[in-house]
Amino acid sequence: MEIKYFEVDAFANKPFQGNPAGICPLEKWLDDATMQNIAAENNLAETAFFVPRGDDFDLRWFAPAVEIDLCGHATLASAFILFTELGRKADTARFHSKSGPLTVTRNGDILTLDFPSRPPGPAAVPDALIRGLGKKPVQVLKARDYFALYEKADDVRSLKPDLALLGTLDEKVIVTAPGDDCDFVSRFFAPTAGVPEDPATGSAHCTLIPYWSARLGKTKMFARQVSKRGGELFCELAGDRVLIGGKAVLYSRGQIEIDDASAQMC
């Protein structure tokens, strides 16, 4: 069995920046175990798989250890492949996912995700979160993920978390602060999903955007994810949705070869 495979750096202006995603266009679904094995073999933050549904697509994302309910960078990368490698002429691509319908719109070299807003709220603060981060945050909130707020961008940049401790938590961890050359900065730790630190995380901005919009009193913002690779995101709050824009760069194209006995098409 031969499966087309692409690797894309999302939220990046050039290769080796942003967040790499593996993309597997399929005609029919593979069985779950095979998709999880491919994601583990790729060992990227996420590998995305999509199949046609009329003019739309069904989309799923797998981290190395588990299937994910929402992933921004691999959705952006999937649309990028449709537009640039698979001949899609329309300037929109609509995906159906475990988090509902998701649309990506192309405007020049900027691709914009239309995702659900997930504002953070009050949260119980596990001791492992504070000890794992290594520096006490000003405030801890929670949506899908823990949301740890710091005073300055340098506080976020300088964190050296204990990933083993963070891996004992029930959810992933966003850390954030006001930006010094942008509206806000963030980092994202997901050891529970087999991803120690994610370089540029679209889904985290479902929570970051409504928080910072309310705090800064503006709906349009520019954000940086200050991981080692770095990421740039153009953000907008649109009611109960968030718009997350960024660029993408093709790193590689090829194919995955799997013995038919090792995989099944659903």
Q: How far is CA 95 from CA 147, 196, 235, 237, in A?
A: 27, 27, 20, 20
Angle at 159 (CA atoms; ends 76, 121), nearest 5 degrees: 65
DSSP string, 8-59: EEES-SSTTSSEEEEEEE-SSPBPHHHHHHHHHHHTSSEEEEEEEETTEEEE
Please report, to the nearest 10 degrees, the dihedral formed by the alpha carbons of residues 236, 84, 61, 71 taken in order: -10
- CA atoms of 122 and 18, how far apart (whole Å): 30
Q: Is 46 an active-site residue?
A: yes
Do residues 196 and 163 touch, judged by C-beta distance below 8 A? yes
Q: Which of 27, 41, 46, 67 is catalytic?
A: 46
Q: Residue 219 carries which DSSP code?
A: S
Among 262, 247, 252, 223, residue whose Cα is nearest residue 44: 252
Q: Residues with catalytic annotation? A: 46
